[in-house]
Structure 1
């Protein structure tokens, strides 16, 4: 089900979650980019302590800017829901990589650990301790760049960096936290170094240094037990690299590395100098961390008591006996409390069950499968939402399947109500590849297989451009529908007819029959009869062109004055039409009675572009022939030029009149 936070972040799908928050992939509609949105779980919205911890994460990471730390973009609250907007990392966690490939090679381990060190060193330099360093919080991009995330329990380094006194459990993940975290003590840079050592141990061996049946048992092992050396599990680990792990995992913080820079320096030279002596912690560190009151030898105690009876007053002997019994009593109380604690923990321990994966199952089948795994129907919560899966099919579950969970945990299944209707976008005029990317991208999310392509001729769209879609633009569609895109394969073509030598009327008719239009008509004197087409431009007869192409014509205006045809009785030959679709040429001029000394002049007349609007243009002339002649009668929709032949007698002036849509727009005098 699509949701929008802060009228900006459109949630798409859940990509992760923990005990405190859920992480979604989302689209920042303002900046048109993919982000990750971390939302506090609804059951914690009234928990001021967790809300403060949630804010602490944003405040902590907002101070940091490093290529190996996930960026924080925004923090907000909508309808009581707290959320953090972060950089989206499209890649696995380090935990996923370990599960998939087992122990990683020493070189890959060094590369990953170096990047983690740089991230933590940057945080430490800004007085931020992570306190939850583990493979689950280390993301890897497709280019193997490390991104450290989840500073949800990070705290500033101050004099009070111990865990909160009112917390019900020690913060951090039990398999990765330090001995000082396990006993609720002070946490500082050394705590992150210890956790880094656990991460390196797991990366190099595929195993954790300590494991147990409960969180308490694991915590106690961090405090008092020794682990198996990494090289005993994986002999391919260089001694230099094992030494780094051993020094990080020393139980006493003072004997670990001083800071991440020291770890980084050893990592930089680990593969160049692999054969070094094995690291040995100081002998005092190998002793158990938990101090237990010693029980003295009975004979020795009696000797001491005898000497004290001889040499000390009775009152002093009495005080020592009292202290001894108090010590014994304290030891007995401690033993009794520990025994009671372990008995209580065993009684309260909740067994695990294997949670099946029900995504893709029908709702009824999913419930049956979950009940069969050990859950009760009251533990199964159902929510409905739009998805690409058919109606009634589970499209998501929380927690995800194929993992162990506590038997009493609630499981939520999300049942599809079908795809959400959206408005079909208008793709007309786009290139096919652009339109397909638009439909399959994050804004719409159509599967590639649902997009079909048809090709068709079009005079209005260039080859490769989208003409239309089915369903049409603006109609309601869902992402599981098939979308047909109609793409232009170019305009229909035709052949330029052979019109040279034809009369203007016949030429116009032939062009129209072939789906062509006449373009600019230019008059030129010649021995051909007036109105005869002399040439065409820019194409030739028989050439293939797109339909509706304009063909420019050069038309004869008859013989020029003084060319030997002065005895001709040529008549005015009006070949145009006044219906706006043709052209008239007044070239058929009687030149036999022209006054002596008459000159022929050529005048170019240009009608400028009128914003691609259609206009009826009429050009007439008056000259020494004594006739009012129509030169051009044509519909134009672009800037056009025309040539007018004039005959001017001495001491006279001719006139050219230009009319547009019945209104005279210019008068051009032509002098001798």
Structure 2
């Protein structure tokens, strides 16, 4: 377990069910944890995508879709997917936990494997990949890191012939196919096994996996990959420009039949390889059965049962270095422990049911007698007939495996979905829809790609996967307001849109670096390569407007000018005292820049009342008239007399509730 750094997820429970107990491995795209399913009380592997990938909408959608497909792929040599979900926004998969180690770990420990061990592992690898091919899946990243060698029921993985092999990460490579090199060297590890067609045009089908499996076989036999270089692109193009060397040119004494097997799988022309993992598996099984009898090159296979009646149950055949291992090894009787038919039932592939190894067998000497010549002649005739029959069977089987069961794939390109389905059904094939792709030339809903391609070999009655055109590629500008710059850039990158940073603006609510707006606005449809301008927050402005409401205009003006702000004054009538600030804009507490205009609204005081002339009126009547105007009245003299004088005088403007004196006398 990797404990070099603290991991906050260890000890937590995901989705109320999966309790993480330790970290198993960390890769460029995800981290794998060991967890306990507390509902079913079993150990599982939990793969959580890194946060850097979670912002890639296409990656997350593809990852989720592929996970659903893999979950339906049930096979003893495929790492099962049990569940999927999200934790804190990060997608995760719950998978079968395989007790063992990767093929990469085994090769790091042992450098290389014996031929029989290598073929035993390859058989189970191909059985898993063939199941995926039948389901319309292409692995795209077959390599030792994705091959798990589980402990045998007897314990351990030392007996590789009987170990259970499981293949992992189906579909993940397709989800990250646009990713670049990561810090762990993931791409460098992958280009060592990449097929030429992937390098040249990015096309991948079942034959791509066959090529990668052939490179894995080469590495198991020789302890190294065929090509190396300082840069990943340099290694990748060697697959395009060169034929994979024969394993026996690196490891002296390897049987030439293995050279032919590697050469078949790693042809640069995809059409010259086995059509899928199932076809390659048939060739591997045939080679392995023959190899188990005629080629003995390891300590395991040198344990040959002794002759009946001897005290030793096993005798050791010494290994003698030679360019031709076949000439040095005596025939091995049927029934030895390493034969495919004697593998434990849990580790035996279905195709190995009752098949017996082929190869030369010694014939016991005939008893002496006068009729021996006659019987010898008769046996020769019988043997000749048997050989002829076997030759016919072999030729017929070979024809059926290589040619007879195949036909040409019909051309479905540019047809509509309905037309393609009808035509495929008419020709005896079923149509499977893959993920659509954008196209500038093929109409939306029409067939853009097909796998196998037109006139490629295909098993009669098999499935044809078609990719429909999504039409010209356009993407709506996403809603980015309130998002951080890094997330906004990732969103635009995932939509193949460019971005530029516009002039920033101060904001009292958005932190610095957060998107305030976009140009064009969210929802506007753009073509790939078009540009979106992001207006970012500069954070809060440096000057805060003070609260001057209720202060005298002179005090308010002084406070604002001291802060480097420009004051604009507006006056209005108010019940507040004259020259009192009754409003400020922008509001107090707002952040602004230097020289920003701040508008102050100043009270002119209440509205003035113009006194009417009430002189020469009875005092009581005159007082009532003034009070009706909103002023107070004080009378001097005889209140029952006539108002002769008023102070202030008639026509004088006075504030409401001002005091007016009336002088009354006859």
TM-score normalised to structure 2 length: 0.39
Structure with bigger strand share is: 1
The higher-RCO structure (CA 8 Å, 6+ apart) is 2
TM-score normalised to structure 1 length: 0.38
